[in-house]
Structure 1
Amino acid sequence: MSRGPMPCTSYARRILYREGHPMYDQSKLAELIRFSRVDAGATVIDVYPGDGDWTRLFSDVVGPEGRVYSFVPAEVAHFKNDPVGLMRTLAKEPGRENVEVVSADLVAMPQATRPADVLWLHLFYHDLHTALMQAKGATAAEFNRAVYERLKSGGYYVIVDHATAVGVGMSNAQSLHRIDPASVREEVEAAGFVLDAESTVLANKNDPHSGKVFDPSIKGKTDRFAYRFVKP
């Protein structure tokens, strides 16, 4: 992949919403796109795309020669907001011919998509440690192996999530929707990935790490970490 100029679209200036309703200003958004290593012509898998903001952004970046898989896990496809229907509507927007909507069990992701340059996981990794996601066997270990299988050699696995207190591990994933960055790194590296970079662009030292991410006192302002792993 060759790096092109940083895209400047209306989406880079809007507020992005996802779990916890994060508010990313333009500079942070631009940094996250750069950090992701998504380039023109790339194939990207956006796992659990929510309202599709990241799918739209990556669609703009990869352009007509690229491909974005908007991957809705079957584990959440039954939600009342109709996640699959939302993404199918998005894919019909003008200029979204490079978006393909896919829904399958998380561990079946390699069979439902083509080899990718980047897999993007935004505020979702902690869910791999919840009963809902593990009901069909989607443990973190199984999913990380699936990501390793699906990425091309030299491909990037990018994870952004809510941080919990150091040393807490996975114990707050279900209750607070937070996870210990060190534990995430340990799990992902166990699947064969190598840490390529980390970013503190979303860090917030004033987050006490003790509240649920939806709590009004911290919602949208949680301390977040960003890891970029590479498949050797």
Structure 2
Amino acid sequence: MPTTYGQFCPVAKAMELLDERWTLLVVRELVAGSRHFNALRRGVPRMSPALLSKRLSTLVRAGVVERRQAGNRITYALTPAGRELEPVIDALGRWGIRWVPELGDADLDPHLLMWDVHRNLAYEALPDTRTVLKFSFADVTDAPRDWWLVITTDGVDVCDHDPGFDVLVTVETKLRTLTQVWRGDLTWTAALRSRDLAVRGDPSARRALPRWLKLSPHASTPRPARR
């Protein structure tokens, strides 16, 4: 039986749908542009495929998500009701950055970090030719420590194995450090100065890298003064 609060309050009615585990993160991925099941999975890498299917089915039945099929190709898209959740997702993200800044080791995930980084590139600033960026996380032991972004005019591939192309720039860092840079908790300059992050490769590309890699949409959120 679905969870109910037994209240007519519209907040309670909304949360009967949205507060199931992972549901809002699935909506977050759809807001971020994921349209296919495998892309959604990469945005929630610790969610089982079976549970993702279940949550998508629930959102489809609720009229928040539309499931479209063309031949064997299935896509998911937010309905008008789903799109109204976009400012809710954005507000939650900015609130989390401001008021829940602590990151435990269990919160760090190279799969999710590289997936987020790959979909926030400044394409207008990147070279017109194929560009390969390598990221090496020296402190990662329970997942691939080396990752590659292969950027072409057709899009971006995220690889956890060597794609075999020449690397233009290599970023050597700790997973926590790059996560903090991505979130806007730490600047590139501060990370380089602390030597927790190093950039190797073509000199002009090293200087341009911070312009190529956009930060989290919430990175610019002002933080409250802390004691």
Q: Is the TM-score greater than 0.5?
A: no
Higher gyration radius (CA): 2
TM-score w.r.t. structure 1 length?
0.28
Quick check: which one's helix share is greater?
2
Query: Which has the higher relative contact order, 1 or 2, with Cα contacts under 8 A spaced 6 or more apart?
Result: 1
TM-score w.r.t. structure 2 length?
0.29
